[in-house]
Amino acid sequence: MFLSLLCVRLEGAITIEWASDLNAVNRQSDGVTPLDDQFEFLLGTFEGIIPGADNLEEWEGAFRSLGSAAYSVDTQRFSNAKSLTSNDPPFTTSARAYIWGRNGTESGSEWILIGKPDWTWPVANPGGPPPFPIRWLVAKAVDDDDVILGSVEEGGFHMQTASVELVLSYDAWVAANFEGEEDGSASGDFDSDGRTNFLEYALGSDPKVHDGPFVTPISADLGIEVTRAPGRQVEWVLQTSGDLTGFTDMTDGFEITVDEPGRLVFKVAPDPAARRFFRVKAVPAG
């Protein structure tokens, strides 16, 4: 009796693992708040830009994700693995890979971005038996060139995220909200609700939804509050008038008591000898 053995050579795509340390101390930018289950850690690359602190607004549009790992509060880590099946752009062998941790994409979100210069995409199908996985670990990204935003293994923390302030230019806002020949001029009022397009941009309201005029009521203690959109290139000016016909910019007689990304409060000094009206105006910053 003869036995015939058939040997089959298995070939497959290469697997990439990305992970942080188990049961590590990870904190947000304030150094107190732990990372929570709102964080995800994306493995991917950037197309068309080199990510840095000076172009945060461009990251979302340029990032190409290969996979995502959820952060586990129970184990205080993230971990996942993904097969790289092709070196089609942007996952070419010359492109740098990054791990981008984040809990959102708006201003005030917490981000960390790491990527060692030698983390470049491997050959997707090297041939032969399936190779051992490639492991890209946070603990190995400790050099200055490895951490683009946030920090790794500093101040007693395995990872610490950074709070990001994203600036949306008026032109970029127009491009996202208007098409073709639609009037996106700053002085225009596309939806005819009494708010100029620029004011809609400043407030973060929809320029194609009729919201009604912009009103800022004054409180009993003469506080005037503006709920504004964060990350806008806008300066808010307090104006006054004695008869509602002509308003002038105020340079004194008030203080700003709250100046937060989404909230601004002017506190007006009382003047019992004069009757005054106030309004807040949004103008381009600078």
Instruction: From first to last of the 286 residues of the chain, give the pLDDT tens digit.
Output: 444 444 443 456 899 999 999 999 999 999 999 999 999 999 999 999 999 999 998 899 899 999 999 999 999 999 999 999 999 999 999 999 999 999 998 888 999 999 999 999 999 988 777 788 999 999 999 999 999 999 999 999 999 999 998 888 999 899 989 999 999 999 999 999 999 999 999 999 999 999 998 998 899 999 999 999 988 999 999 999 999 989 999 999 999 999 988 899 999 999 888 889 999 999 999 8
Q: Write the DSSP assignment of 21-44 as a string of letters.
A: -TT--EE-TTSSSBP-TT-EEEEE
Q: Pick from 101, 132, 98, 100: which is nearest to 118 by CA?
A: 98
Q: Is the pTM of this model over 0.85?
A: no
What's the token pair of residue 86? 């092709």
d(C-alpha 59, C-alpha 168), whole Å: 13
Instruction: Name the residue ranges covered by the structural domains of the chain.
Output: 14-163, 167-209, 215-286
